[in-house]
Amino acid sequence: MVVTGALDLTLRDRDLSLASRRMVDMSMRAARRGAKLTDQLLTFARKQILQPTVLNPNEVITDLQAFLASAVDETVEVIIDLGPVVWPVYLDRTQFETALINLALNARDALDGQGSITISTRNETMSVKAPAGCDNEYWPTCADEYWPTPRCLIC
């Protein structure tokens, strides 16, 4: 994260020569590949220590707000829309933060430097009905397999 953040800030320098920009861009791609591979290897080896705790997602998002705003271009607005009373969630804070940062950066890239990214929270109750396009014949089995107990949906 630190390396890619520093490289991202370097890329924002408007005085950066084309040759330097290419080298920084290549370094950014290499750093992302390395981070992804490291994450996959740690997860696979089960050496990644997860520390799930009960968290208020609004607090985590609020803590990340300034970082998210600086991580995306100034031309992309980050809108935070937090529900007034959001149920607590049980998850690993670091993985949640990493997921939010990755989603914001991917959204920034998809926006091609203009537009807005909205991160919002609210309480929702999941339906046991099959989602649109899902085969109703298999849905009860899938729902039991993937959601054996009530879950918080983050999307």
In whole angstroms, give the CA distance from residue 28 to residue 39: 16
User: Average of pLDDT values for 49-59?
Assistant: 86
Q: CA Rg, the chain, in Å?
A: 19
pLDDT-derived band of residue 151, with 50, 70 and 90 as boundaries?
very low
Interior angle at CA 35, CA 30 and CA 37, nearest 5: 95
- Pick the residue with more confidence: 82 or 45? 82
In the chain, domain spans: 1-48, 50-123, 128-155
Which of 11-25, 49-63, 116-130 is predicted most confidently?
A: 49-63
pLDDT score of 24 more than 90:
no
Predicted TM-score (pTM) of the model is: 0.56
* 92-100: Cβ within 8 A, 24+ apart: 92/50, 92/51, 92/52, 92/53, 93/51, 93/53, 93/55, 93/60, 94/51, 95/50, 96/55, 96/57, 96/60, 96/154, 97/60, 97/64, 98/1, 99/154, 100/60, 100/61, 100/64, 100/68
CATH 3.40.190.10 fits 50-123, yes or no: no
Type and span of the H or E element at 116? strand 115-120
In whole angstroms, give the CA distance from residue 51 to residue 53: 6
pLDDT score of 153 more than 70:
no
pLDDT score of 150 more than 50:
no
